[in-house]
Structure 1
Amino acid sequence: MNPAAFKLYLIWCLGAFLSGSIPFGLLLVKLAGKGDVRAQGSGNIGATNVMRAGGKALGIATLLLDAAKGFLPVFIAKKFGFAPEFLAFVALAAVLGHVFTPWLRFQGGKGVATALGCVLAYHAPMVVPAFGAFLLCLLVFRYVSLGSVVAALVLLLTAMGFLGAWARLPVQEGMAQWPILAWALLVGLVIRKHSANINRLVQGTESKFWGSSRNV
């Protein structure tokens, strides 16, 4: 890769990182006069905790905006003609921005909604198996955290082609290792951010999405 192209890629990734770093959940709850979402519930700035702190409307708005901030940088880069091998790293940068937002001392959310937006812009069929796995886990076990972790793992399997060619990564022959690396890092990041939830699931103390108090 020549230096000019590398510099251009870095600029796009920086733009995606900044897009992902916008803490919509925190901003919406504050603008609604509901206080600091980080001081409520699980302390997370994502849609589930926003719903707890500010109601369903704010939670849905946060989900859509968090997805949009992942969708837009990947979608725009795709429209500019960047190859899928590079788009995967734009997606990774957007999720990194959400998880390590510089405006909150690099403490952000868990990246699920932003990752969803990235995948929709990157290659929408990849979403189908992961979303199905999420819904199944949520309906059967009622744990958002479990659904998110399982969906992330299914997304990686889909990207690698284990669930069929119809949903796998649209990359050039011989180049698949690079986007798979990016998606593997993205999935690993999302799962790592759910480590506390995983510990509670193992211990049987994780709260469910409906019923008692929640820690998602």
Structure 2
Amino acid sequence: MTSALLCLVFAYLCGSVSTAILVCRLMGLPDPRSEGSRNPGATNVLRIGGRKAAAITLAGDFLKGLIPVLVARAFGQGPEVLAATAFAAFLGHLYPVFFGFQGGKGVATALGVMVGLSWQVALAALATWLVIARVWKISSLAALGAATLSPLYALLFGLPGAYALALLPMVALLLWRHRENIRRIRAGTESRIGDKKKA
């Protein structure tokens, strides 16, 4: 029980490290919470700081989802604790205790925890993103489509039910955090891949 609790706390604290804010501070860039779309994520960092800063942010957000799950797995935790650890890391990114609970939208961190839980689910989600992005050329739509299908992929691959149960609230939170994107998608004004409008 103690080791499981430590895994959850570590995961949340790890997720709470806002890569976007730290990268912008270290590179002398504006606070992503006050510039561009005001979202502390890789897309906004790309907008205000360029590709290098965005790539570092993306890698950091991915790793802080992946590492806690791998640590919990290394400690021999079962599916339920692994699933809870994944959700805790994701929740930390959305609501980071170190940064006033003002976090990002969670796409890269969600992919990280998916890789930690199951590379098959992560690969299927990535393939879904690529298909939707190629057809509709809307990154946010591709991310939401891939995330929404991830619990189904977990079930189709015969993974523990706890994984799908952890992915469901993650999907709900992703949809909530992308509600403005969803409104723009419905209105036909959402940014498309390759253009320079605010996402």
Share of identical aligned residues, percent? 38
Distance across 2 between alignment mates of 1:19 and 1:90 = 11
| Equivalent residue number for residue 97 of structure 1 | 92
- Among 184, 193, 197, the alignment partner of 2:177 is 193
Runs of 4+ deviating beyond 6 Å: none
- Give secondary structure in 2 for the equivalent of 1:37: coil
TM-score with structure 1 length normalisation?
0.87
Partners of 1:16 and 1:91 within 8 A in 2: yes
Structure 1 Cα separation of the partners of residues 163 and 118 of structure 2: 12
Q: Distance in 2 between matches of 1:109 and 1:205?
A: 21
Matching residue of 1:26: 21
1:35 to 30, 33, 56: 30
The one-letter amino acid paired with 1:43 is R
- Specify the alignment match of 1:53 in structure 2: 48
Residue 119 of structure 2 corresponds to residue 124 of structure 1:
yes
Q: Within 2, Cα distance between the matches of 1:213 and 1:206? A: 8
Offset, 1:106:
1.0
Using the TM superposition, give the Cα deviation of residue 135 of structure 1 relative to its aligned residue in structure 2, in angstroms: 1.3
Matched, 1:108 2:92: no
Q: Report matched runs for 1:164-203 at 5 Å.
A: 165=157, 168-169=158-159, 171=160, 176=161, 178-203=162-187
TM-score (norm 2): 0.94
More moved, 135-144 vs 148-157: 135-144
1:159 corresponds, among 130, 133, 154, to 154
| Aligned counterpart, 2:193 | 209
Q: Following TM superposition, by how much is the alpha carbon of 1:191 offset from its aligned partner in structure 2, in angstroms?
A: 1.6
Which amino acid letter does the alignment assign opposite residue 51 of structure 1?
Answer: L
For 1:142 and 1:40, the matched residues in 2 are separated by 24
- How far apart in 2 are the matches of 1:139 and 1:60? 21
Report which stretch shifted further, 140-149 or 63-72.
Answer: 140-149
> Residue 33 of structure 2: SS of its match in structure 1?
helix
Aligned partner of 1:75 among 64, 70, 73:
70
| Deviation digits for residues 128-156 of structure 1 (CA, Å, limit 9, x no counterpart) | 11101111222222211101100101211
Partner Cα distance (2:137, 2:29) in 1: 26
Q: How far apart, CA to CA, are the structure 1 residues paired with 2:134 and 2:176?
A: 23
Q: Structure 2 regions of 5+ residues with no counterpart?
A: none
Residue 190 of structure 2 aligns to which amino acid in structure 1?
E
Q: Displacement, 1:209? A: 2.9
| 3-state secondary structure, aligned to 2:118 | helix
Say how many residue pairs are matched. Answer: 199
Of 4, 8, 17, the residue aligned with 2:12 is 17
What letter corresponds to residue 181 of structure 1 in structure 2? L
**What amino acid is aligned across from residue 75 of structure 2 in structure 1?**
F
Letter in 2 for 1:19: C
The structure whose Rg is larger is: 1
Residue 207 of structure 1: CA displacement?
A: 1.5
Contact 1:208 1:214 survives alignment (8 Å): no
